[in-house]
Each structure stands twice: as C-alpha cells, then as structure tokens.
Amino acid sequence: MREMKAKLLVILCVMIFVGAIMVGPVAAATDTGQTIITGNPEADIQVTANITATEIALVQGSENYNATLIVNVKANPFSWTLAVEDDMTGPKDVAAAGYMTNWTGIAWAVPTTKLLNPMKIQGSAETGATQESEKTVTNAPLTLETGYQATLTGGTNFVMTTHQKVEYGDQNLNTPNVYRLVFLFTGTTL
C-alpha cells in the first residue's frame, strides 16, 4: 500500500513537472523605456553672391544704376544683418576704399587711379528683412539689410542695386585696364 502511494506521489509530481514546463516559460515579456532629447541649432548665416564678377557699362554724365547682382542669405535665427564693404584685397590703396579703381587685370594699377565718385549700393525690400537706405561703400561694413525672421528654405534673394555716378572728369582707361571694386558681403547673426 505504501509503495503504491509512493508511486502515485511520484506520478503526480511528474505530471505537475510536465505541466509547469508546458505552461511557464512560453509567456512573452516586454519592457519599455524612454529618453528625452532636446536641442537647438546654433545661430548660422550663409551669404552667397550669384556672380563672382560682372562688367557694367558706365556712361559718363550718368548715375549708372545696375541691378544684376543678387545676394542670397540663409539665416536660421530671427535676427541678423547683411553688410557690405570694400574688400580691399590686393592690397588696395586705402585712399581708394569704396571707389572703383584702376585694375590692370592682375593687380591694382600704380599710381592709384579711381573714379571721382564712390560706389553706392542698396539691397532690395524682401519679406523678413528691413531694407536699409542706400549706402556709400567704404572699407568698413555698412548694413544693407536687417533681418527680423529666419529665412525660409532656399534663403532669401536680395537684388543689389549698385549706383556709380560717372562724370566727364573720370579718366577713360586703356584696355585691358578697367575700373574695379570688390564687394565683401558679410552676414552676422545677432
């Protein structure tokens, strides 16, 4: 009798064991977690001119307005400025800063010869920026546009109207010399 009880107990245990194996480990388990990521772009501005060099016709006795230069500004903050100055690379005679100056094709001519009137320039009125008044170019940056919002994808194109008065007293140059001025546009985030 005792032996039978023992056998029954063993069989019972084996059945529970098999049952436990079949039921227990198949349960799938999941767990979740989270993390928060925050950030902000650093302020940045990119300025691109659509042309690297252009030749404009200068008519004596005329104001000579020209609007072929386009400057593209991409700015990601809401406050920024676009300024212009005479690049002065060469180096250019400081006394000729802001003036179209005799250029041999490879260097500034010596002695310095320049037009009688300085170059003036004004940017166009575009959404997202305040158009500043026409500026007389010097070797110090002068603000042409004051941005009050970030530019949209692709940036904002500003048409630059150059204004170069030419008088009869301005000397005509022999080829290949030309009057030349290199604009330096600078974008600044505020």
Partner 1 sequence: MQTSVGDYPHRSRVRIIVILVLLVLLLLWTVPVTAADIEIAVDGDISNWAFTPGTTNIDSTNITLNVSSISSTWTVSVKDGMDFNKTPGTVGRMAESDAVGAYTGTKVLGTAMTVAGPTEPTKTIGSSVVLSGSNQVIESGLTPVTGLPLPLTISQPVSISDQVLGGGHRYQVIVTFIAFAEGGPEPVVSGIVPAEGITGTTVTVTNLSGSNFLPHSTAVLNRTGFSDINLTVTGVTTPTSMTGTFNLVGAGVGLWDVTVTNPDGRTGTKPQLFWIKYPSAPTISFFTPLSGARGATKNIGVGGAGFQNGVAVKFTKGASVINAAVSQVTSGTIEATITIPSDGPTGLWVLTVTNNDGQSASRSNAFTVT
Of the pair 36, 95, the CB lying nearest partner 1 is at: 36
Question: Minimal distance in Å, beta carbon 116 to partner 1?
Answer: 41
Least CB distance to partner 1 at residue 72 (A) = 11
13 or 116: whose CB is closer to partner 1?
Answer: 13
* Closest distance to partner 1 from the beta carbon of 185 (Å): 16
Q: Which of 121, 110, 111 is nearest to 181 (CA)?
A: 121
Neighbouring residues of 86: CB distance < 8 A, sequence distance ≥ 6:
92, 97, 98, 119, 137, 138, 139, 181, 182, 183, 184
Residues forming contacts to partner 1 in the complex (CB under 8 A) are 2-3, 6-7, 9-10, 13-14, 16-17, 20-21, 24-46, 74-78, 150-154
Query: What CA–CA distance (Å, rounded) separates 47 from 84?
Result: 11
The secondary structure of 147-188, three-state, reads ECCCCCCCCEEEEEEEECCECCCCCCCCCCCEEECCEEEEEE
Q: Which is nearer to partner 1, 39 or 176 (CB)?
A: 39
Comparing CB distances to partner 1, the nearer of 30 and 174 is 30
CB of 50 to partner 1, least distance (A): 18
Residue 114 in contact with residue 179, Cβ under 8 Å? yes
CB of 153 to partner 1, least distance (A): 4
The answer for residues whose C-beta is within 8 angstroms of residue 27's C-beta and 6 or more apart is: none
Q: Which is nearer to partner 1, 123 or 147 (CB)?
A: 147
